[in-house]
Structures are given as C-alpha cells and as structure tokens.
Homo-oligomer: A and B are copies of this chain.
Amino acid sequence: MTPESVVVLAGGSGGAKLAEGLQQLLGEGLSVIANTADDVEILGADVSPDPDLVTYWLCGQIDEASGWGLKGDTSTVFDRMVGLGAPDWFHLSDRDFATCLYRRAYVQEGGTRTGAQAQIARALGVRAKVLPMSEQPVRTMVRTTEGSRGLQQFLVAERAEPQIEGVELEGITGAVPSPEALEAIAAAEAIVIGPSNPVISIGPILALPGMREALADARAPIVAVSPFVAGNVLKGPTREFMAAIGRPATATGVASLYAGLLDGMLCDEADPDPPPDDVVTAAAPLLMEGAEGRKRVAERTLDLAGSLIGPQ
C-alpha cells in the first residue's frame, strides 16, 4: 500500500526539498518535524532556520537557486540596522525578518512555537503541517579546536572553517518532543528520516528525551533517505560533522546513527558503501533537481515505505 499519512524528520536543506516532493504527493497528509536546535535570537528576531526553510520550500517562495532565503526579497531593515551599528554577520532579508518577528511576538503573547509556525505556514498557503520538534530551547554548540560556539556562529560567521571536535546540545535534557510531533508520529502510516545532516539536523530531533522511544513505538515503518549522492554531500559540512563523530560519510555511516530505528533506507544508486543487510535498502538517483526531481525521490521513498507496511 502507499502511505497517505507520513511524517518526515527534516533540517533545512535536503530534508526540506524531500518534504516539498512529498507534499506534491500527499498534500495535507504530510507532517514535517523540523529541527529547532539551529534557532538563534538575533537583531531582536526569533530566528528558526529549519522550520522556516521547510515552510518556504513548501509554500513555493524559496529561492531555489541558492536553496535558502526567499525569492526576490529585499534587505532594507537589516541594512539600516547595520548602518546604525548592529552586527552584520547574520543576514536577515525583510520578509524573513518579518517571519522571525511574528514568531517572537506570537510566543511573547503566550502562544506556542508550534502555534506560531502553524499560523505562518497557513498564511503562506502551505498544505502540509510544519512542526517544530520541541517547545523548549535546544541549542547546538560546536566544539572546535578554537573553543565552543553556537552553530550559526560556526556556520555563518566562521564559514565552518574551525576544525570540529564534537557537538553538544545545550538544553536537550530539559526538552521534550512537542505534543503535536508525538501525535503525528503515533498516527503516521510511514515515517521518513530526511536527507538532512545526520549530526546537526536529524541528531537533535532524535536526541530529544522520549523521541527514539516514540519512533520505536510507532506502528509505521521508518525509512531514511541518505543525504549522500554518489558519495558526495550536496550542501553544507556534513562530511566534517560525520568525521568529527567518527563515522564515514556514506549511507552506512548514516545508518549507524539511526541504528535500532530503521526498517529501510533509500540510498543513492552510486553510494560506495550501502548499509548492511538487516536494513531493507533501495537504490535510486537521489539528486533532487527541480520539482520533478523532488517528486521522483519522494515517490521512491513512499514506494520503499509502502513495501514495509505489513499486517503487524
């Protein structure tokens, strides 16, 4: 059977693109649980890069050429703030700034982050649900040879240049998955771990106390989509983060991080190191070029997941 109610765990890049492909097939049947450990408060705004990137992909306003940011956005407020003396290392375009200010005001008035993201997605015409992984703050800290720093500072201000020694998740022990995320997992017919950075995007979601148990208890099969295409990373320092935690930058390396959870894995047909036999593996070209490319990978993902749904 083809699943009609699907949860995907995602960061902001590969996972968001797959989510867009899945939304083409599933519409409102899709729920995206997005990493919030990238969040940062800056310039008075409550910046939540992964839920917002997912939202921008799903509403069709993403700048597909760069893979991030909003198509044709301006930068009037940011430029003016920098002119006044504000720090300029983290750029926010105007409509993106508006999203982050809206979230902040919504939460300050007593709303949940989940409620804010739902309203943002609804207002922008997104059909799927976009669920922040947790209501509690979790922050990815990157330990480097030059000291520990926030993920955005590492990625943006330092261009991921310092050598990574490890990753810590500040606040993780006091955080729990949001009720909406747990509900979506329990109700899903299939669960997909998207092709996002396994360490800094999927890692924090899985590290939430109770999340692995909720996934293991779910009736749905769990399939991962490898972030590696022909052994390469399309975007971001995935290879460096994998190396820092002692894993190869291959489908097998990724599978090892999801051990105990996976029923199946979709790997690129040119992956040099597909996972071992206890995981049902399918191979496909995983490059998601254009809406058709995203839809094709989404179809292969649902095919694999569908083949694993049994009378349990």
| A→B interface (CB under 8 Å) | 43-45, 74, 76-78, 80-81, 83-86, 94-95, 97-99, 101-102, 104-105, 108, 119-120, 123-124
Q: Which residues of the other chain, B, contact A99 by a CB distance below 8 angstroms? A: 80, 84
CB pair B44–A105 under 8 Å, yes or no, is: yes
Q: CA separation between A81 and B98, bound complex, in Å?
A: 5
8 contacts between A and B (CB under 8 A): A43-B105, A74-B76, A76-B76, A78-B98, A80-B95, A81-B102, A84-B102, A84-B124
CB distance from A265 to the nearest CB of B (A): 37
Q: CA separation between A85 and B97, bound complex, in Å?
A: 15
- Chain A interface mostly: helix
Number of copies: 2
Q: A45-B101, A86-B102, A101-B101 are in contact. List 14 more A-B contacts (CB 8 A).
A: A43-B101, A44-B101, A44-B104, A74-B76, A76-B76, A76-B77, A76-B94, A77-B94, A77-B97, A84-B99, A84-B102, A84-B119, A86-B105, A94-B94
Q: CA separation between A81 and B146, bound complex, in Å?
A: 39
Q: Which residues of the other chain, B, contact A77 by a CB distance below 8 angstroms? A: 76-77, 94-95, 97-98, 101
Q: Which residues of the other chain, B, contact A101 by a CB distance below 8 angstroms? A: 43-45, 77, 81, 101
Q: Which residues of the other chain, B, contact A123 by a CB distance below 8 angstroms? A: 83-85
Supposing A77-B95, A94-B94 touch, asked if A102 and B85 sit within 8 A by C-beta, the answer is: yes
Q: CA separation between A98 and B81, bound complex, in Å?
A: 5
Q: Kindly report which residue of chain B lies nearest to residue A94, judged by CB atoms.
A: B76
CB distance from A122 to the nearest CB of B (A): 8
CB distance from A96 to the nearest CB of B (A): 9
* Contact pick for A98, options B80, B104, B124, CB 8 Å: B80
Q: Which residues of the other chain, B, contact A45 by a CB distance below 8 angstroms? A: 44, 101
Lowest 7 CB-CB distances: which A-B pairs, in order? A80-B98, A76-B94, A44-B101, A77-B98, A84-B102, A84-B123, A80-B95
